[in-house]
Amino acid sequence: MKDRSNFSNKLGFVLAAAGSAVGLGNIWRFPYLAAQYGGGTFLLIYLILAVTFGFTLMTAEIALGRKTGLSAIGAFRALDKRFNILGILAVVVPIIIFPYYSVIGGWVLKYFTVFITGGAKASAGDTYFTDFISSATEPIGWFLLFMAFTAIVVLCGVEKGIENVSKFMMPVLVILTIIISVYGLTLEGASEGLIYYLKPHMADVSAKTILAAMGQLFYSMSLAMGIMITYGSYMKKTDNLESSVRQIELFDTAIAFLAGLMIIPAVFAFSGGDRSALNAGPGLMFITLPKVFASMRFGSVIGTIFFLLVFFAALTSAISLMETIVSVFMDKFGWKRRFTGIFVAVLALIMGVPSSLGFGPLGFISWNGMTVLDIMDFVSNSVLMPIVAFFTCIFVGFVIKPKVIADEVKETDGKFKAEGMFNVMIKWIAPLFLFIILVSSVASGLGLFKL
Ligand code: PFF
């Protein structure tokens, strides 16, 4: 195998992969989904799916990367030429996600700056957020800045850049999350929110809950987009793959759970128990939360810490997106990291501008009620991701056969504890569910029917 950058040890690998997994999906999306789909029941369903589906796909991807020592495109092709197209599709996903994810990263950076400079009150104004995102130039400036941070880390390489940044940011993120959750729980009226979050509400549970949990799981664990394949290719053979996957899952799920603890009780306390405040969707983080912070004692400080931690989470995820694209171009064309990094950054800047302008000057572009950014999100997450995940299962289950993955997992100590479950999941259960997810999310995105 040619000389390839590596994570220096298992901890470095786990923290970098967890850095990719823990992102806006955990902090902003998970809490409101959990609130909407039955509280404790959603949590339980999510947990079961994480240790079965999440485990299966993540193990398969990391093993594919480590076995071949290649990023997504090369990895599939190296094992079977016919699946070259699957590698290409897997890389199209981060190419679409990276630009718009960075646009949102820019919004987070803006809010952090506003809070740290004492603008907490102003940011709680009703039209503050919409005024901001509909302006033509300001969000693009923040987008550029966010992209610059990401690019600098990626240009520094795997060990010096990604690993070091993750080793610092991930523990800080955990500590900040715990501080805010504990503070939030002390607010008056918070305990009802806590009960609401943790107590199962069977009436809110339906087939849709399982699909929502599953969609969230894939997104949250950065699956089906070549990322874990790429990171796996930087993993040492001497590091235990199975326990690494368990640790990444645990990390990702724990942060999502804590994000719920951080947000739901505080929003409940603020809204006097009105749960509809939680259904604000994308507006939850940028419209509702600033109001919550403005109404709290120490709200400016808490808000500043909150947006700092969201920034860290978004940055480590953006880094993984960019690294995946960069590594593919490097593998494919033999380019140097430096040149590739700059090339990818410029490409992403060009692609991200329409997503940003979609809330202002390009607001007339809309498809089934979706803005440019929503369309990007729909195509990548609701269409491409399930397709890639489905064919990855078919590829592993029926083409190369699960044994190839099992052998790779066993490299370190000869063991693969969950091998039996892995085999059944990857061949039968996961593809079946993925197929259902694909059909239902495409249909509901196109407005054909709602489950
Ligand atoms: N997993 C990240 C999150 O939960 O926010 C988001 C993400 C990162 C999605 C990387 C996609 C991706 F390729």
Q: Each residue of 432-448: pLDDT tens digit?
A: 999 998 998 888 778 77
Distance separating alpha carbons of residues 225 and 286, to the nearest angstrom = 27
Distance separating alpha carbons of residues 371 and 357, to the nearest angstrom = 10
Question: What's the confidence (pLDDT) of residue 444?
Answer: 79
Tens of pLDDT, residue by residue over 136-151, are 999 999 999 999 999 9
Q: Is 431 in the pocket of ligand 1 (CB under 6 A)?
A: no
pLDDT value at 3 more than 60: no
CA of residue 25 to ligand 1 center, whole Å: 6
Question: What's the confidence (pLDDT) of residue 282?
Answer: 67
Are 382 and 445 in contact by the 8 Å Cβ rule? The answer is yes
Distance separating alpha carbons of residues 40 and 205, to the nearest angstrom = 10
What's the token pair of residue 33? 């989904």
Q: Is 355 in the pocket of ligand 1 (CB under 6 A)?
A: no
Are 159 and 8 in contact by the 8 Å Cβ rule? The answer is yes
Tens of pLDDT, residue by residue over 9-59, are 999 999 999 999 999 999 988 998 888 888 889 999 999 999 999 999 999
Question: What's the confidence (pLDDT) of residue 1?
Answer: 42
**Overall average pLDDT of the 423-429 stretch:** 98
Distance separating alpha carbons of residues 138 and 403, to the nearest angstrom = 52
pLDDT value at 449 more than 80: no
Q: Is 150 in the pocket of ligand 1 (CB under 6 A)?
A: no
Are 241 and 235 in contact by the 8 Å Cβ rule? The answer is yes
CA of residue 342 to ligand 1 center, whole Å: 22
Q: Is 26 in the pocket of ligand 1 (CB under 6 A)?
A: yes
pLDDT value at 249 more than 60: yes
Question: What's the confidence (pLDDT) of residue 364?
Answer: 94
Question: What's the confidence (pLDDT) of residue 2?
Answer: 46
Ligand 1 atom closest to residue 252's alpha carbon, by position in its atom list: 4
Whether the full predicted model's pTM is greater than 0.95, yes or no, is: no
Ligand 1 atom closest to residue 320's alpha carbon, by position in its atom list: 10
Are 169 and 308 in contact by the 8 Å Cβ rule? The answer is no
Tens of pLDDT, residue by residue over 358-377, are 999 999 998 888 899 999 98
Distance separating alpha carbons of residues 204 and 161, to the nearest angstrom = 44
pLDDT value at 274 more than 90: no
pLDDT value at 412 more than 70: yes
Rg (CA), the chain: 21
What's the token pair of residue 109? 């950076």
CA of residue 26 to ligand 1 center, whole Å: 9
Beta-bridge partners for 329: none
Distance separating alpha carbons of residues 34 and 217, to the nearest angstrom = 12
Contact residues for 114 (Cβ-Cβ < 8 A; gap 6+) = 120, 122, 123
Tens of pLDDT, residue by residue over 316-354, are 999 999 999 999 999 889 999 999 999 999 999 999 999
Percentage of the chain lying above the pLDDT 90 cut: 77
